[in-house]
Amino acid sequence: MLDIEGVYSNFIDSHRDDHSRKYEDYDGWFGASSAGNCFKKQYYKHLKLEPQGFDNRVARLLRLGTIFHEDIAKAVEFHKKNKGSDSESKLYVEKQVKIPKLKVLGHIDILEQENGVSRVFDMKTVSAFRWRKKFGRITKTFKPDPDLDQMYKLQVGTYALALVDSSKSVEMYLCWYNKDNSQMKPPVEVDNYYIDEANDYWEKLWGAIKTHESPDDMIPGVTKGVPMDQKWECNYCSYNNICDSKFNTKKR
């Protein structure tokens, strides 16, 4: 009998390098989507150490996110063909942007440019649990987590940072999609404060790499930025099999 799960896992695995091909000509650069990650994890990436792969279930979850992004890109292209030629705005999908001084490369999900204004839209697919943590109502026993999307904001801030010199102004938006019930939110604007925060993050990351001879010199819980979030980051890190973090309770 055909092993459907195995066939699909092999298919997903065969596409694992699609993302890395975007960076083939940018050796030593970081991806904007990794903004906010632990400095030690970033250092491992910088040295091109092989990360641990995801199990099949997690790989399928990530694939769903990829499929959604591909669908959104197709939808925007469809809209461009049908909106008419009188529109003053220009739309781009997967728009490549660069910050050479920080060696950061990114690809914006949707970029709209109109009269010198650049609007960056970043799509985020999340579980119902994270959706509730972000948008749930305050009760006596529950409060939304205001820091839930800090890394998302740093990521979109990085895209905006790449555009500030070529735009009159830059607006940033996170677009949320609930994977459990397909609910969507109108774009949520991100404060321009995160452009400076993104610049600060990348400058400090390069500073940390330059001042430590190897990732092993970075001590979790002691070295600033290692990790960024002690509650969860180490357990889900793709390098936690080689990192000695005391916050790691689930070695992969």
Residue ranges covered by each domain of the chain: 36-217
pLDDT single digits (tens) 164-194? 999 999 999 999 999 999 999 999 999 999 9
Q: CB of 118 within 8 A of CB of 170?
A: yes
The pTM of the full predicted model, rounded to 2 decimals, is 0.92
Residue 17's pLDDT is what?
67
Q: How confident is the model at residue 14 (pLDDT cuts 50, 70, 90)?
A: confident
DSSP H or E run through 125: strand 117-126
- Contact status, residue 221 vs residue 233, Cβ threshold 8 Å: no
How far is residue 203 from each of residues 48, 61, 105, 198, 199, measured CA to CA in Å? 20, 32, 14, 9, 6
CB atoms within 10 A of CB 110: 22
Q: Above pLDDT 70, what percent of the chain?
A: 96
Question: Which CATH architecture does the domain made up of 36-217 adopt?
Answer: Alpha-Beta Complex (3.90)
Exposure letters 94-103 (e unless 16+ CB within 10 A, then b): ebebebeebe
DSSP string, 17-76: TTTGGGGTT-TTPEEGGGTT--HHHHHHHHTTPPPPPPPHHHHHHHHHHHHHHHHHHHHH
| Residue 137 DSSP symbol | P
- Residue 108 pLDDT exceeds 90: yes
Q: pLDDT tier at 51 (50, 70, 90 boundaries)?
A: confident
Q: Label residue 87 by pLDDT band (50, 70, 90).
A: low
Mean pLDDT value of segment 46-64: 88
**pLDDT on residue 88:** 74
Give tens-digit pLDDT for 215-230.
999 999 999 999 998 8
| pLDDT at residue 249 in the model | 84
- The pLDDT tens digits of the residues spanning 156-166 come to 999 999 999 99
- What mean pLDDT is reported for the chain? 91
